Amino acid sequence: MTAWFIQLYSTTRTRLFYAAGFVCMGIAIEFLQGLGSDRLFEYADMLANSLGVLSMLLLKDSSLSNVLYQFERHILKND
């Protein structure tokens, strides 16, 4: 989701806002999973989610930054 929103919004402030929101969402999901009996609460999942968000922020200026846009353009062209 971070990759998608980074492509939608170009200002650094907005990107950081969404990134912080996704980190908080990942942490909240882990706490909610801990309340049930089917899923487990794990700090490692919180870390993995946060590192995923951070990695997309670091890749925002790379050639991979438009991969989702290019994919969507390719799919729409074939319709």
In this predicted model, what pLDDT tens digit does every residue of 3-12 receive, in sequence order? Answer: 878 878 888 8
pLDDT attached to residue 54: 93
The structural domains of the chain, with segments of one domain joined by +, span: 2-77
CB 45 within 8 Å of CB 30: yes
pLDDT attached to residue 71: 83
The ranges of the chain with pLDDT < 70 are 79
CB 28 within 8 Å of CB 4: no
C-alpha dist (Å) from residue 30 to 2, 55, 57: 18, 20, 22
- Cα(59)–Cα(48) distance, integer angstroms: 16
pLDDT attached to residue 18: 93
pLDDT attached to residue 79: 61
